Amino acid sequence: MRITRRALLKHMCLACGALLLKACTQVDDSLLEEGLLVDTPSLLTPVADAEDWQPAYMKLETEGKFEERINQVTQILEKCELCPRRCGVNRFEGQIGFCRSPEKVVVYSFSPHFGEELPLVGRRGSGTIFFSNCNLRCVFCQNWPIAHEGRGHPITDEALADMMLTIQQKGCHNINVVTPTHVLPHILNATRIAMHKGLRLPICYNTSGYELVEVIQLLDGIVDIYLPDFKFMDGAEAERYNLAAAFDYPVRAKESISEMHRQVGELMTDVDGIALRGLMIRHLVMPNRVAGTKEFVQWVAENLTLDTYVNIMAQYRVEFKAFEYEQIARAITSEEFVEAMDWAVEAGLRNLDERSVSQYAIHQRKVP
Ligand code: SF4
């Protein structure tokens, strides 16, 4: 039998892939046996039939409630209390609050993004829309030109809707609205406009976690995927590392994340492992235990469920004004990351992000 060069290469690649996969599985299995690693999310995450699935906002529209909900959220702008800053400014009249948002929504960029969690990225990327400005503004912000300086372009809600449709045309798996809180009315309005033009992707609400629970309640039936940070467990640390004190950050994050969990529950994917609905929490490990990781994992275990998707992140870097703060003016050590993951495992969390589990294995090898 003749075999073409292309076929030979393909079979070689498949064989190598299978061997690599087997090797990876063996590493994981051995670590599992030693009790060092938890099971992979793919074994724990409920699977839905993507063909029968539709985004939550379509059901709300069918019930005739979507427009009314948008109006409720938009009215808040008159005396803005969209977030815990509660500035009380009239955004319709162009008054500027802490977040510095002008009347129109300001967007820095939109594109398929491949650096997000794997269930969001899939094969064709997460459709991120980066909104300018921010209602929290951390001193270690990695997106400071966008969040602190407000770089970007003001656009209409119709243009925002077109961005969402472009993202869908590119094949992305979701609309990932990054730092959305202060421009929520625009996002909801644009989503409905886009929906009437054929948008069918889930909305992924990618937030710092500094939210008001009563505003999150208004998103019930609109947002399918919540992707909040939980940055600090201690109010004093939150106050210290935000440009304007946010002492109430831990309380607000706990309230709003609990509400998110009530609405959408644990992560659910399609058969390919692509996120359709659910809560995914991010926690960035910081130097000198500043983020309160031990308290964070215990809080998740005791207040949500052990199968809650949690991404313990190792990628803290010294950005923006972090150089001025001694406690956070360095990267984390391998010991600090291993300690953080040990706490997560000890707390019983069993749906940890795949890449955080890989990082765990890598950093374990570096610790004497
Ligand atoms: S969204 Fe902006 S203006 Fe409104 S309360 Fe928050 S920081 Fe203030």
d(C-alpha 110, C-alpha 130), whole Å? 6
**Shortest CA distance to 134 belongs to which of 87, 90, 186, 181?**
181
Distance 225 CA to ligand 1 centre (A): 23
pLDDT value for 48: 74
Q: How far apart are CA 285 and CA 183, in angstroms?
A: 28
The span from the CA of 340 to the CA of 210, in Å, is: 23
Nearest CA-CA partner of 231 in 358, 316, 303, 301 = 316
- 3-class secondary-structure state, position 272: coil
Which residue out of 77, 89, 93, 99 has the highest number of ligand 1 atoms within 8 Å of its CB and is therefore the one to mutate?
99
Q: Which domains does the chain have, with CATH numbers?
A: 38-366 (3.20.20.70)
Contact indicator for 104, 210 with CB cutoff of 8 Å: no
Q: Which residue has the tokens 């890598």?
A: 362
With the most atoms of ligand 1 within 8 angstroms of its CB, the residue from 74, 79, 135, 208 to mutate is: 135
pLDDT at 44: 56
DSSP string, 16-46: HHHHHHHHHHHHHHHHHHTT-SPPPHHHHS-
Q: Which atom of ligand 1 is nearest to the CA of 98?
A: 7
Q: 34-65: b or e for each residue (b if 16 or more CB lie within 10 Å)?
A: eebbbebbeebbeeeeeeeeebbbeebbeeee
Mean pLDDT by runs of 10 across the 368 residues of the chain is: 36 37 35 39 62 92 98 98 97 96 96 97 97 94 92 97 98 98 98 98 98 98 98 92 85 98 97 96 98 98 98 96 95 98 98 97 94
Which residue's CA is the nearest one to ligand 1's atom 2? 99
How high is the pLDDT of residue 99?
Answer: 95
Helix, strand, coil shares of the chain as percentages rounded to 5? 45, 15, 40
Secondary structure (DSSP) of 90-126: -GGGT---TT---SSEEEEEEEEESSS-HHHHTTT-E
Which of 81, 83, 256 maximizes ligand 1 atoms within 8 Å of its Cβ, making it the mutation to test the pocket? 83
CB atoms within 10 A of CB 184: 27
What is the C-alpha separation between 277 and 284, in angstroms, rounded? 22
Quote the pLDDT of residue 52: 80
Closest CA to 195 of 52, 60, 74, 57: 57
Residue nearest to atom 4 of ligand 1 (CA): 80
Q: How many other C-beta atoms are found inside a 10 Å radius of the C-beta of residue 33? A: 9
Q: Please name which of 211, 197, 217 lies closest in space to residue 157, comparing C-alpha atoms.
A: 197
In whole angstroms, what is the distance from residue 116 CA to residue 259 CA?
Answer: 23
CA dist 95 and 88 (Å) reads 9
